[in-house]
Every structure is written in C-alpha cells, then in structure tokens.
Amino acid sequence: MVTIGVIGFGYWGPNLVRNLSQASRASVAAICDFSEAKRAQAQAIYPAVRVTGDVRELMTDTTIDALVIATPVATHYDLAMEALRNGKHVFVEKPLALNSAQGAELVNYAQQQRKVLMVGHTFVYTSAVAKIKDLVDAGELGALNYYDSVRVNLGLFQRDVNVLWDLAVHDLSIMDYVIQERPVAVAACGIASVRGQHESLGYLTCYFSDQLIAHFHVNWIAPVKIRRTLIGGTDKMIVYDDMELSEKVKLYDKGITLDSRPEGIYQLKVGYRAGDMWAPRLDNIEALRVETQHFVDCILDGQRPSSDGEAGLRLVRILEAASASLKKRGAPVELNSGF
C-alpha cells in the first residue's frame, strides 16, 4: 500500500485526488493548499483526509510514501527536491521544472535515492496516443515525414510561463512518446497579446537529423477550441482529433508515389494514392486514472514510468531552447549548444 500526500488543490489537484483515491494499493492521507477556500473545499469532499496549509507537515510525515505536486511551475523544483530529500517518491505536474539545470538535478537526485520521479504527461496515458504509438512502432506509416499539431482555445493566461510551456508541452509529450528520434534543433516565434505579459501565441518547429520535421501551433486567444495532430508517413497518415467524441484516431491509406523509371529521370512525376480510412476502436478509460495507477504500480513493482523524469527533462530542454529562439525572433537553436 502506498500512502500519498497531494500538494495543490487548485485547477488540476481535485482531479488527481479523485483518481488517486480510486487507485488500487493506494490511499490519500493528506491534502495541502495555501488557500483557505481550497482547503475547505477539499475537506468537504474528503472528510476523512487530513487537510493542511503547511507543506512541511507532508514533507516530514514519515507515514507518507509519495507526494503528488500540482502547483504553479515556478514551485515544482523546490517542492520536488524537498520531497526527494525527505525520502518521498514524487509525481510532479508538467513541465518538470523551469529550466534544464533544475530538471537535471531532480532526475539525478531521484536516481541516487532510488525514488520514482514521474511527470504528469497525461496524454501519454490516453488510449488514443497508445494506439498511435502502436501504429508507428509497427511501421504502419512507413518512414515519418512530418508531425503537425494545433492546440488553440480562448484559454487561461498563465502568470509564470508562456503559451509554449503551458500548451505545447502537451503535444511535445505526445511526440516524445510516439517518436523514437529526438530533435536536434528548434525554432520558435510568437507574440504577447497583452503588453508586459508572456507570449500568448506561439509557433514551434522541431528539426530532426533525418527528413522528419515537427511543428506546433498554440494559442490562448483563439475563438474556437482545436486539438488536432497530423502525422504523415511514406505509406500512411494519421489524424488525431481529441475533440472528436468517437473516432479520435483515423488512419488514412493516402500518400504520393514517384515515377522512378529511367525515362522519367529528367521529369519528376508525382502520383497520388487514395485508399481506405480506418478508425480503430478505443476504450473510454480516463487517462488520469491510468496515469495515477501507473505511478502507484511503479512504486510498488519497481517499474519505470512511461513519463519518467528523463522524459520530463527532454521536454524542458526543448522548451528552454524554444524560449531562447523566441528572443532571437525565431532563429534556430541547437539542442546540444547549451544556448
């Protein structure tokens, strides 16, 4: 049995507590939030759980095995590191930290202490993304050509991070999970629609060593909500629309063919192939339920999280490079340059 404490009962915390309370081989022992109103809300919903405004109570409580951190990004490093130093396993919401130096410290220290460090890349645990990964791994798409993602809505402006760190991190986590290759450089541009605030509209491009390219469009000030990803390969293509109630994933047998006959060497001829569309059956299990159970199982069974600290660190490095590129008005930044 894993005894868990949750820090943060704001936007996402209630969802984490609900799912952790239903996880097998786990129990939620305490909830911490600085807001008196949030503490009252938590206590009303979970009268048997200890609720406090003092984070040290959870840190020093030797009966608590793991801490789940659902607080603003700027607090992730301090809280996660203190939890690890107090011998706790840690689940921290995305992104892992505000910079790669902090992220690397967390990853290294967790490994030294032999503690589970897991990052809340929730989309990795959806049945839709699991199916996409199966299709890519099985070679159904052939060689990958592009990864194109749009995530826009009239959303909540964040105080401590820009729109790339807030929204693109979701799609970067999916890309990192589905595609085995790692980007070698990034370029990003964007604008702040409110003067003096973080960028609210952003475009991020990831370059790979081969022909693959990935592009992400994110926006806090769009009139409609769009959550759509296209993955194109030499054989087939995938459309993943998270707003669809059914048929979220569609596999298209479409593409192009090139005339490779010797007589056509001086005149390139492109043909188009239009085959069937297939929409695989997906289950309706809540991704957060799968994710929280996975955290518990990793602690008890010694598994490695699908979204471990190293995955979280890879995303922080991409976002950090993207922020550097933003300052250079879209100039590419090498991921191994130290920027």
265 or 320: whose pLDDT is higher? 320
Tokens of 98: 């505000």
Where do the domains of the chain lie, and which CATH numbers do they carry?
Answer: 2-122+287-306 (3.40.50.720), 124-283+318-334 (3.30.360.10)
**pLDDT for 339:** 44
* Residue 196 in this model has a pLDDT that exceeds 70: yes
The 3-state DSSP class for residue 189 equals strand
Range of lowest pLDDT (191-200, 225-234, 264-273, 284-293): 264-273
> pTM to 2 decimals?
0.92
* Residue 260 in this model has a pLDDT that exceeds 80: no
Write the burial class of residue 60 (CB in 10 Å: 0-12 exposed, 13-18 middle, 19+ buried): exposed
pLDDT tens for residues 316-333?
A: 999 999 999 999 999 999
The closest alpha carbon to 151, from 174, 131, 185, belongs to: 174
Alpha-carbon span 175 to 307, nearest angstrom: 12
Average pLDDT over residues 283-296: 96
* Residue 87 in this model has a pLDDT that exceeds 50: yes
pLDDT tens for residues 200-237?
A: 999 999 999 988 999 999 999 999 999 999 999 999 99
The strand pairing partners of 151, in sequence order, are: 218, 227
* Residue 150 in this model has a pLDDT that exceeds 50: yes
Alpha-carbon span 68 to 20, nearest angstrom: 10
